[in-house]
Amino acid sequence: MLPRWSRALTQLSRLGSHRSLNHGNHFYAISRQSYAKAAAAVAPVTTDTLEKGLPSGPMVNLDKLFWSKPCSLALPPDSPLRIDETQYEGIKRVFLKLMLFYSKQSTSIRGANVVYKRVISQVDKPAIYEVFNLEKTFKTSYALLVLHMWLCLRRLKQEGKEGVEFGQYVYEIYNHDVELRVSKAGVNLLLTKWMKDLEKIFYGNIVAYDAALLPEARQDDLQNVIWRNVFSDDGSSKPDSAASRTVQAMARYVRREVSCLSITDKEAMFSGNFMFTPLNIEKAKLKGSG
């Protein structure tokens, strides 16, 4: 049976014969309707759940961001950020083998947990909201979470069946985390219903992102999808002039992460020993350049 997140790939295959994002827009219509209901359900949140308000730090010159040459996101062997498997020896190793600690499934689950930690690390840090001038709400946090999940699952799919199976573990961890986040935000009644709505958003978004990167897609398709999924509150299909630079910068960020992940080796992806481009470093470089 195909993993749940990969059902969207079936829909994407239907997009390949078209030269527009009409199908992607159809999915977005479902997503937006679901978003409206789900976001309303989680609106009364506590301050320790979400950090409301626009960033107070200095604005960055978005026009200078994310033009650098793509590079592997794999962490070097001596990086203190690496999370490597503890090497047990002797009787303890024998015991763990008997307990199936080293089975393919157990190893994949541990790796998937680290991969998801990398996603959360990028989405939950203030830097991404500061750089793109986003208010940290449930909607924006969830939209960024889906975006970075898509980046990971897209890369894992390049490893064929093994990557798709591993991606299923990542998706299940993500799904459990989203349920906890929704519950923590105050939604306890009809939780299953809201989770189904968010699942529709997830599928709709990843189909739209994939379609925006098809060879026949228009240059501005990706930024229009990002605008609808991440920035827009009124359902408009294209960013206004005030938001255009910010959305274009995020589109460059996304394209660069896609390229960086494509040259990140399989071992790093399956162990979680990679890091998305650190946005605070990009910001620091910009400050240093004056």
Condensed to tens digits (0 to 9), the pLDDT of residues 44-92 reads 333 333 333 434 445 567 888 899 999 999 999 999 999 998 888 899 8
Q: Which long-range contacts (CB under 8 A, 24 or more apart) does 192-201 make?
A: 194/37, 194/38, 194/41, 194/42, 197/34, 197/35, 197/37, 197/38, 198/34, 198/38, 198/142, 199/4, 199/175, 200/30, 200/31, 200/34, 201/30, 201/31, 201/34, 201/35, 201/38, 201/142, 201/146
Tracing tokens 């990969």 back to the chain, one arrives at 6
Q: What's the pTM value of the predicted model, to 2 decimals?
A: 0.79
pLDDT at 252: 97
In percent, how much of the chain has pLDDT > 70?
A: 74
